[in-house]
Amino acid sequence: MNESIQVIISTLPFILKGTFVTLRLVLSALAVGFVLGLLLAIGQVYGKKILARAISLYIWFFRGLPNLVLLFLFYFGLFPLLGLDVSAFTIAVIALGLRSSAYQSQIFRGSIQSLGSGQMMAARSLGMTNIQAILNIILPQALRISIPGWSNEYPILLTDSAVTYAIGVMEILTRGSLVVSRTYQPMPIYLTCTVIFILLNYGGMKILHILEDKYRIPGFGNMEM
């Protein structure tokens, strides 16, 4: 028992460094997925037919592949083929981000479509351009509606981030495994990893709840019983 605590204490700084890598990876991928996902959703709802088709294809591709396949494809295939010398971390952000964008786009699309055509019509009837209407009327509402569904994306990406172990990104699990291979103490080390993941998850969900509360529209959509 004492030995276990000793191992945890002595290796914690090393593993904790991975926490920052994981957080950076998750937040970057979320950001990539958010921006792309939003554009994809807008394109799918308001774009020309051919654009909407192309976007469907993109979504079908990225939702259909396991993370690990995508990571290997990019890390061992695509990027070396293009002669690009890119870090494993960057590749992980791109792969997870693109995949997340496909998922996020459907959350946003659902929210946009749930608004109905009346909001857009009213905005256009006042003389707003399409873009003005999307930015000032559609998105502020759609994004609010998206928060509950979107709050899935954070824990999904957080848990998915551990897969990047396979291409050697120095995140929590990779560091933990390195420690295990040195100390032969899997239980305390993986338990440490577990606790870190759970805390990260808890913190993130807390922040999302605060956001949801802050942006709630008075008298709208919240049932007080």
Partner 1 sequence: MKDNIILRVEDIHKKYGKTEVLSGISFEVRKGDTKVFIGSSGTGKSTLLRCINQLTVPDSGKIWLHGEEVTHSQKSINYFRQRIGMVFQNFNLFDHLTAVKNVEIALIKVKKLNKKQAREKAMEELVRVGLKEQADLYPAELSGGQAQRVSIARALAMEPDIMLFDEPTSALDPELTGEVLAVMKDLSRNGMTMLVVTHEMGFACSVANEIIFMEKGKILESGPPSKLIREPRFERTKQFLCKLGELYGDIGR
- Quote the tokens at residue 141: 């509402």
Phi and psi (nearest 5°) for 219?
75, 10
Q: Is 9 in the site for partner 1 (CB under 8 A)?
A: no
Q: Is 122 in the site for partner 1 (CB under 8 A)?
A: yes
Conformational region of residue 216, where left means phi above 0, alpha means psi within -120 to 50, and beta covers everything else? beta
Stretch that binds partner 1, among 9-17, 71-79, 124-132, 160-168 (CB under 8 A): 124-132
Binding to partner 1 in span 143-172, by CB under 8 A: 144
- Quote the tokens at residue 32: 């990539």
Conformational region of residue 21, where left means phi above 0, alpha means psi within -120 to 50, and beta covers everything else? alpha
For 143-180, b where at least 16 C-beta lie within 10 A, e where not — what string?
bbbbbeebbebbbbbbebbbbbbbbebbbbbbbbebbb
- Which of 106, 141, 183, 185 is the binder for partner 1 (CB under 8 A)? 141
**Closest distance between partner 1 and the C-beta of residue 38, in Å?**
17
Q: Is 217 in the site for partner 1 (CB under 8 A)?
A: yes
Per-residue string for binding with partner 1, 79-118, x by CB under 8 A? ---------------------------------------x
Do 45 and 112 contact (CB within 8 A), yes or no?
Answer: yes
Q: Is 220 in the site for partner 1 (CB under 8 A)?
A: yes
- Which of 219, 223, 224, 225 is the binder for partner 1 (CB under 8 A)? 219
Stretch that binds partner 1, among 2-10, 13-21, 183-191, 213-221 (CB under 8 A): 213-221
Residues near partner 1 (CB under 8 A) are: 118-119, 121-129, 132, 136-137, 140-141, 144, 217-221
